[in-house]
Amino acid sequence: MLRQPLLLLARSAAVKQLVSAMPVSAGIVHSHVPGETTEAAVEATAGLADEGLLATLDFLGEDTLDAEQAEATVQAYLDLLRELSARGLTRGAEVSVKLSAIGQFLPDAAGFGGGHKIALENARTICRAARNAGTTVTLDMEDHTTTDSTLTILRELRKDFPETGAVLQAMLHRTEADCRALAHEGSRVRLCKGAYLEPETVAFQERLEIDKAYVRCLKVLLAGEGYPMIATHDPRMIEIASSLASRHGRAPGSYEFQMLYGIRPDEQRRLAGKGERVRVYVPYGTEWYGYLMRRLAERPQNLTFFLRSLISKS
Ligand SMILES: Cc1cc2nc3c(=O)[nH]c(=O)nc-3n(C[C@H](O)[C@H](O)[C@H](O)COP(=O)(O)OP(=O)(O)OC[C@H]3O[C@@H](n4cnc5c(N)ncnc54)[C@H](O)[C@@H]3O)c2cc1C
């Protein structure tokens, strides 16, 4: 019931301004975001590596309409990749990138080809740095209005960087077909349920329908030739994915589980302990507002905790 208003708030500039005054150290923020700096992200990655967990790091930010901010985001990824490499962490850590944070929505300045082209060039720069550091990039997926542009950019990037990963959202009607198209050899695909508010014309609305779609997509990806990245905290989906993986003769290491930083950490360790590859999505930076609101929409039980943090900030 609260999912819709919380997801609407995730895109409210006024509420963002109010809530973002809260320090990252505030309980609810800190439990989902390890810190604001490259150093904090690298430390979190090192901590996960000590526990046998892989990481994918996300420099927080989205929907930018400011070219300088898009460039600053690219620079943040380059700094991060340099630091991860210097600390010898790139074997177990890659980066996740939101195209809307690196220019996808920028207006068409001087006929340069618009945001789509800018985001592609910026993503190419990050992919090159990731390759040089010995790791990979996964393109996060945002709301359905960006899916075609994101998958087109993915195809372009994969010509030079075939290791680039994609994300597909099971809640979208189109996704089973997208899974089929991307279940080929060498293709890394993260399957998630989908975190955005989507209209019923394009997306399943009921939890049961979304779960059924997730299982259908799992079947396609695990039966395929690619490398599925199973992103969910849902115990049923994890169990179904495990049994489908063994039914298709997939050894651990030919797919991986992914979960968000701070969510079900015991389950992350349990899966890693039984030999599964487990990657934790680590968001960092000051632009945590949209990310946190989407997490609250998924778990409204945390709302009281959040409001308490907000009230006690002063
Ligand atoms: C690594 C990763 C990357 C992602 N990238 C994207 C992306 O690029 N684009 C996108 O749209 N979405 C992304 N998501 C978010 C995703 O789409 C879902 O919104 C989110 O994962 C919640 O769905 P769920 O499958 O975990 O389970 P839900 O359907 O939210 O919950 C199912 C069950 O999982 C368990 N659970 C869920 N959350 C918690 C919690 N906080 N604490 C304890 N138990 C919990 C509970 O048992 C719950 O009943 C990503 C998720 C992950 C894990």
- Ligand 1 pocket, mutate which of 175, 212, 234 (most atoms under 8 A from CB): 234
Is the pTM value of this prediction over 0.85? yes
Per-chain mean pLDDT for the chain: 92
Active-site pick, 158, 188, 190, 295: 190
The answer to whether 190 is a known catalytic residue is yes
pLDDT in tens, 75-123: 999 999 999 999 999 999 999 999 999 999 998 665 556 899 999 999 9
Q: Is 24 in the pocket of ligand 1 (CB under 6 A)?
A: no
pLDDT in tens, 137-185: 999 999 999 999 999 999 999 999 999 999 999 999 999 999 999 999 9
Q: Give the Å distance between the CA of 185 and the centre of ligand 1.
A: 26
* Residue 71 CA neighbour count, 13 Å, CB half: 3
The answer to whether 155 is a known catalytic residue is no
Q: Whose CA is nearest to atom 36 of ligand 1?
A: 233
For residue 312, CA distances in Å to 19, 20, 21, 271, 305 come to 12, 14, 12, 36, 11
Q: Is 192 in the pocket of ligand 1 (CB under 6 A)?
A: yes
Alpha-carbon torsion (229, 119, 158, 146), positive or negative: positive
What would the two tokens of residue 107 be?
Answer: 């207006």
Q: How confident is the model at residue 9 (pLDDT cuts 50, 70, 90)?
A: confident
